[in-house]
C-alpha cells in the first residue's frame, strides 16, 4: 500500500461548483496533514494544514480530517477557473519528520 494515496483524476467541475479532493494515508501515527496547490511549471504552495479531527475552513476551502479512517479531504466551494491546478496531499509521518506526498489530483474548473 502506498503511503499517501489520492483519488485518481483528472477532476473537472463547472465554475461555481464544489470540488472534492480525497486522500488516504497508511501511517497511523501521522499527526499533520497538508494540502498544496501546484500550478503547471511552478512550485507547490500551501493551501491548508490540518492537525485535529474535524473540519477546518479558510475562505472557500475546507479541509476535513478523520484519523480513525486515515482520511483527509479538501473541499473547494464556488470553484473558479483560477483554481485549476494540481492538488497535492502531504502527510508528516509521526516520529520521523518524513514529509510524504501523494500523486496529486489535477483539477480543471470550466468557465
Partner 1 sequence: NAGVTQTPKFRILKIGQSMTLQCAQDMNHNYMYWYRQDPGMGLKLIYYSVGAGITDKGEVPNGYNVSRSTTEDFPLRLELAAPSQTSVYFCASRFRGITEAFFGQGTRLTVV
The answer to whether residues 102 and 4 touch, using CB atoms and an 8 Å cutoff, is yes
**Interaction between residue 1 and partner 1 (CB under 8 A):** no
Q: Which is nearer to partner 1, 51 or 81 (CB)?
A: 51
Q: Judged by CB under 8 A, does residue 101 bind partner 1?
A: yes
Question: Of 12, 15, 18, 45, which lies in the binding site for partner 1, with binding defined by CB under 8 A?
Answer: 45
Give strand ranges (E) for the chain: 4-6, 11-14, 19-25, 32-38, 45-50, 54-58, 61-66, 71-76, 85-92, 99-101, 105-110
- Cell numbers that stand for 82 in this block: 483560477
Q: Does 59 bind partner 1 (CB under 8 A)?
A: no
Q: Which residues contact partner 1 (rule: CB under 8 A)?
A: 3, 6, 31-32, 34, 43-46, 49, 51, 88, 90, 92, 96-104, 106
Amino acid at each position: 500500500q502506498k503511503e499517501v494515496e489520492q483519488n485518481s483524476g483528472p477532476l473537472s467541475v463547472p465554475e461555481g461548483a464544489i470540488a472534492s479532493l480525497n486522500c488516504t494515508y497508511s501511517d497511523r501515527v501521522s499527526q499533520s496533514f497538508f494540502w498544496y496547490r501546484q500550478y503547471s511549471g511552478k512550485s507547490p504552495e500551501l493551501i491548508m494544514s490540518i492537525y485535529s479531527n474535524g473540519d477546518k475552513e479558510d475562505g472557500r476551502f475546507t479541509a476535513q480530517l478523520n484519523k480513525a479512517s486515515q482520511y483527509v479531504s479538501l473541499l473547494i466551494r464556488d470553484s473558479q477557473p483560477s483554481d485549476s491546478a494540481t492538488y497535492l496531499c502531504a502527510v508528516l509521518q509521526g516520529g520521523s519528520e518524513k514529509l510524504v506526498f501523494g500523486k496529486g489530483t489535477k483539477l480543471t474548473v470550466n468557465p
